[in-house]
Structure 1
């Protein structure tokens, strides 16, 4: 998938690295002030960041986070940009470090970049041969290979069920544990060969779900998302907004629940219990904003994207 310019915009989205989804919708959601301070939690190809910079004046600031070292190649030569080569779970810590304890908006696009999928040696995609790696931050130690070789059958079952919605996740986990000692699991093709007897339905779809589950686990994506969301009320100025784009039902549920009630569990209303909880965020988008038909034709991966917006009270 190649990067392209957005229609109606002169923003070049980042040199073949990644096509940003819900581009105009997410920029509009942030209500950008020319002299404000904004955070792009997932810089990637810099598409969303360039859009923010276009709306900022000379005194505005963009703070861009990305744990993937490859993303630094896409940094614009712009004095208004502060780059933080870290996971967004460390949002508050690094904002304080750079003397921006409060900001006017936070954007996060939780999708994996097209670049990561297209680099075979990263191990994210079933389309290429490569190592079973899947680390977004190559400074960390846990790889997909380690997960497959060391996790218990129950752990594997749960991660394939929850993060990949794999239909036969229990059978899959048992098969891996029974075969992992005598099979090599160094590469994607090794893994595909091992899985062949248990694949159900469309092989490409099945393997994509398995790979998604492993990627989420290797990068602790749900843990990082929870930590970032919990920091939003502390880092946002009153009236500032958070705009989060998700691609998976679990991510979307976490964002929805946190924006609505400041926590992650579904709240069951009990008329006999009056629990006063301080609400610090106001939901701006009652329903998630999704891609237009035009965008899904232009960029098929935008089909599963959901944008939710909240404002600091």
Structure 2
């Protein structure tokens, strides 16, 4: 069941032009099961480029020692000019990778970018995100240091991740912000009240990570037991025993609605995100070419206002917080 493909369009994050759907690379190295096949992960990145994807997203905290940045750097080594490369800093994991803290003081900003550039084996990154706002450092100080990276040619555009409307506004007064990356899906819509309007007022694009509800909206996870033992999602409320059956019933309704469009529930969820505005870029993550191609097929789905309202109504009663 695949909708007719259309050419992948472009959208703007501030003044930065990117593909309308990006590729989140986190799962290739961390969190969702084992990083079991680097060859397939790199092939997925290459296929994404060939299909018109330009935005590739990583972070210095994905995988031990920044392993995901290293993987993405190797994948893009001979095709850097075709990619918009985004990475993040600010979450620092402990020695055994079981806990993390946030650090975003100016000295650390400069340390972090140099380490990322080394792992990625590039001279600059196109988009550099503050992964989480440091509660102990005024955001003006952090963004001021990030602006110094732009002046030094190490970074082209600045971004924030999971920031509040007030923090976004304060950051923007220091330096233009191209993008705010935050969780946004049929099941995570809290940003629509304040964050999205603030971004639109300031001309900032929104990058929606986890647009498939951490794969729960795909309809492919039948029980919590189908997740690997070390999978991060086992600790999330929406995957818990008391909430899973309820949420699966919602996915089944979405599956039936998607069938009317000749699509899968995942494709319907991605189409819903794409219809939220021309300043919104969906960032589904995958480490397999098959899922990549399924996700890209969502660009061929056209939804009417009535469709959007029906989808929202079905998905609204999700059980469990996102964390």
TM-score range for the pair, normalised by the shorter chain length: under 0.3
Larger radius of gyration: 1
TM norm structure 1: 0.27
TM norm structure 2: 0.26
Where relative contact order (Cα < 8 A, 6+ residues apart) is larger, the structure is 2
